[in-house]
Amino acid sequence: MPCDLKGGTTEWGEPIVTDFAEHLDECDAVLASGMMLGNGTVDTLFARVAASGRRIPITMFAQSGAAVARELLGHGIDALSAEPYPFFWLTGDAGPIYLYHGSRAR
């Protein structure tokens, strides 16, 4: 389910929820933006997943926060798609994307 602090609807007309915590019980997995590192919600995500008692894998895709997110592999984040600066959209050129896998410590 799409979630963004601004809310709204997707291009397909699906609602975008503003509070992931209210809907986490409906999720089998989480695909999180690196923006969660900057807006202070990543700790809430980790705590809510841990409190759920279920195995909910978290994959993060990050640009600016890629180096920080990589340090969280095995400590909340299960997999990471990292795109370091300069991002592809700045020049339109091909750019590197790094994929990391880890397992969350329990």
Any domain includes 1: no
Any domain includes 71: yes
Predicted local confidence at residue 31, as pLDDT: 94
What is the model's pTM? 0.81
Predicted local confidence at residue 60, as pLDDT: 95
**Cβ–Cβ < 8 Å for 59, 76:** no
Any domain includes 106: no
Predicted local confidence at residue 55, as pLDDT: 93
**Cβ–Cβ < 8 Å for 48, 24:** yes
Predicted local confidence at residue 89, as pLDDT: 62
| Structural domain of 42 | 8-101
Total number of domains in the chain: 1
Q: Encode the chain (106 residues) as per-residue pLDDT tens digits.
A: 888 889 999 999 999 989 988 889 999 999 999 999 999 999 999 999 999 999 999 999 998 888 889 999 999 999 999 887 766 666 667 778 889 998 544 3
